């Protein structure tokens, strides 16, 4: 059973940009409205389509364990526009059902597959920010957030692009307890993906050679990057705080060497 994750955000708030740290073969992309990405990576497996049958087929045949559908709101909006002339409520039922079935399809995928549904935000009737649909008639049929255990929201604060991991009371953000340490994290979907994989036991966790604790993502770096970087620089895999301690110690030693007047031998 794969895992569906919902990423909400206004246009230009860093949803698409959050994919930037995935390597070209690491992630498959369904580009619903075929819009250009705001970074250089060209993903190897891309489908430009708003057709549910094509998208379902694509999802079932990917080797990448990470799939992003960007932007799912257009799946609903485009179908709604195509059927604009139809009268009656049937189209709303169909639009809701098609979208629901796509999310449910995640359950039939391998257990280590994570599908990220990127969707626009809107302010609902109760004043809360929620996943944008095509209006009240659809909202009566389906509560999109109810189908996800993790709902993140893009936030731009002081020029920084972030994800909110829990609700501030005025939105529908949520995530399992202990998945993220802080309310806000950098808008790095690769780091989110890694955290989810560790949390749900989809991935072997690396431990720190010095303190024995798990190496977790920190300061915008993935656990993989931290483990790899410390292995290269210190000859062993270290957690972020042990690495920070070593850097601090090295600085103190260097400062002492200078004040001792012993010159530059202290390397
Ligand atoms: Zn450590």
b/e 150-172 (16+ beta carbons within 10 angstroms → b): bbbbbbeeeeebbbbbbbeeebb
What's the gap in Å between 218 CA and the centre of ligand 1?
A: 12
Between 135 and 23, name the one with better pLDDT.
23
What's the gap in Å between 149 CA and the centre of ligand 1?
A: 30
Band of residue 85 on the pLDDT scale cut at 50, 70, 90: very high
Is pLDDT above 80 for 78? yes
What's the gap in Å between 209 CA and the centre of ligand 1?
A: 7
Q: How many CB atoms lie within 10 A of CB 222?
A: 20
What mean pLDDT comes out for the span 7-28?
A: 94
**What pTM value is reported for the model?**
0.82
What's the gap in Å between 193 CA and the centre of ligand 1?
A: 22
Of 43-47, 68-72, 187-191, 218-222, minimum mean pLDDT range: 218-222
What's the gap in Å between 204 CA and the centre of ligand 1?
A: 17
> According to the 3-state scheme, what is the secondary structure of 171-231?
CCCECCCCCCCCCEEECCHHHHHHHHHHHCCCCCCCECCCCCCECCCECCECHHHHHHHHH
What mean pLDDT comes out for the span 101-112?
A: 94
What's the gap in Å between 249 CA and the centre of ligand 1?
A: 15
Is pLDDT above 50 for 30? yes
Q: Name the average pLDDT for the chain.
A: 91
What's the gap in Å between 208 CA and the centre of ligand 1?
A: 5
Domains in the chain, start-ordered, CATH in brackets? 3-199 (3.40.50), 205-267 (no CATH)
What's the gap in Å between 23 CA and the centre of ligand 1?
A: 27
- pLDDT confidence of residue 173: 95
What's the gap in Å between 106 CA and the centre of ligand 1?
A: 36
- pLDDT confidence of residue 101: 94
What's the gap in Å between 212 CA and the centre of ligand 1?
A: 6
What's the gap in Å between 180 CA and the centre of ligand 1?
A: 18
What's the gap in Å between 239 CA and the centre of ligand 1?
A: 4
Measured distance CA(183)–CA(197) in Å, rounded: 19
């Amino acid at each position: 059973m794969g895992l569906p994750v919902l990423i909400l955000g206004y246009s230009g708030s860093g949803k698409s940009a959050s994919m930037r740290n995935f390597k070209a073969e690491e992630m498959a992309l369904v580009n619903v409205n075929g819009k250009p990405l705001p970074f250089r990576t060209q993903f190897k497996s891309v489908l430009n389509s708003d057709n549910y049958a094509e998208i379902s087929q694509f999802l079932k045949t990917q080797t990448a364990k990470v799939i992003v559908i960007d932007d799912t709101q257009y799946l609903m909006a485009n179908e709604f526009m195509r059927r604009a002339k139809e009268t009656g409520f049937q189209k709303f039922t169909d639009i809701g059902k098609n979208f629901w079935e796509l999310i449910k399809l995640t359950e039939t995928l391998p257990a280590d597959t994570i599908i990220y549904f990127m969707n626009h935000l809107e302010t609902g009737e109760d004043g809360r920010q929620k996943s944008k649909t095509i209006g009240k008639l659809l909202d009566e049929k389906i509560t999109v957030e109810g189908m996800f255990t993790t709902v993140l929201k893009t936030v731009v604060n002081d020029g920084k692009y972030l994800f909110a991991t829990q609700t501030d009371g005025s939105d529908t953000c949520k995530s399992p307890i202990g998945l993220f340490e802080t309310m806000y994290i950098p808008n790095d979907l690769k780091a989110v993906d890694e955290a989810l994989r560790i949390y749900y036991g989809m991935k072997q966790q690396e431990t720190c050679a010095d303190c024995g604790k798990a190496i977790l993502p920190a300061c915008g770096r993935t656990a993989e990057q931290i483990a790899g970087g410390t292995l290269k620089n210190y000859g062993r895999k270290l957690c972020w705080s042990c690495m920070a301690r070593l850097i601090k110690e090295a600085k103190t030693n260097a400062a002492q060497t200078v004040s001792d007047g012993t010159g530059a031998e202290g390397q």
